[in-house]
A and B are shown apart, each in its own frame.
Chain A
């Protein structure tokens, strides 16, 4: 079965650089969520999109922006990277109508800022 695809799997950036993380949802999933999980921490919700519109916003820094495209894939853009941005970034996708068994996480992108 198709899963949520995240790219890249690993990314190393220097401070003050920019990073772009990509997420390709499961086909026919119209909602995408981004979570940030710091080392030894629980995942924190950043932002979500439904039908290409932002549907909810969490603790996302102003240096980060995201969007969902017409093919439903999403990109998280992170600028002026800081050491504290080093984390595992998860994308999840789901149908809009509630169906938790359709709420699927990708394998994550591990971002290391040096």
Chain B
């Protein structure tokens, strides 16, 4: 079974600054995907970024980038130039790679507040 750990329950950042959200995971699988999802007050689950475990290059999506350390089983999310709209709950999630889509295992989440 896989576990995903987000040890920081809350973080706060000043608008326009950079913040890093931490995530570690445990698995015996070699092939898997990792994701960061954003859940704003509307409660919609929105995909922020994904990382394939077999790729060494860290994924980047505009202001969002990850630091993927496979050996350390660490997957942190960096948000640059933070915006007020980034205020949300952020979940790190794991999916085993079987060639087909499968269930997501989520961490407990972190509440990010962006201050004006």
Secondary structure call for the B interface: loop
Judged by a CB distance under 8 angstroms, whether A24 is at the interface is: no
For the complex formed, measure the closest distance between the CB of B5 and the CB atoms of chain A, giving whole angstroms.
11
Which B9-44 residues sit within 8 Å CB-CB of chain A? 33, 35, 42-44
B-chain residues with CB within 8 Å of residue A107 when the two chains form the complex: 42-44
A-B contact count (CB 8 A): 60
By the criterion CB–CB under 8 Å, are B101 and A95 in contact? Answer: yes
The reply on B104 being an interface residue by CB < 8 A is: yes
Which residues between 45 and 90 of chain B lie within 8 Å of chain A, taking CB atoms?
Answer: 45, 47, 50
List B contacts of A58 (CB < 8 A).
103
User: Which residue of chain B has its CB nearest to the CB of A33?
Assistant: B103
B116 contacts the other chain (CB 8 A): no
**Most chain B beta-carbon contacts within 10 A, residue among A33, A56, A88, A98:** A98
When each residue 76-108 of chain A gets 1 if its CB lies under 8 Å from chain B and 0 otherwise, what string results?
000000000000101010111111111101011
Please measure, in the bound complex, the distance between the C-alpha atom of A107 and the C-alpha atom of B41, giving whole angstroms: 12
Residues of B within 8 A of A110 (CB): 43
Question: What residues of chain A lie closer than 8 Å to B42, measured between beta carbons?
Answer: 107
10 interchain pairs, CB-CB under 8 A: A42-B106, A50-B100, A98-B100, A98-B101, A99-B101, A100-B50, A101-B47, A102-B101, A107-B43, A108-B43
Further contacts, 9 of them, CB under 8 A, given A97-B100, A107-B43: A45-B103, A48-B103, A98-B97, A98-B99, A100-B101, A103-B104, A107-B42, A108-B44, A110-B43
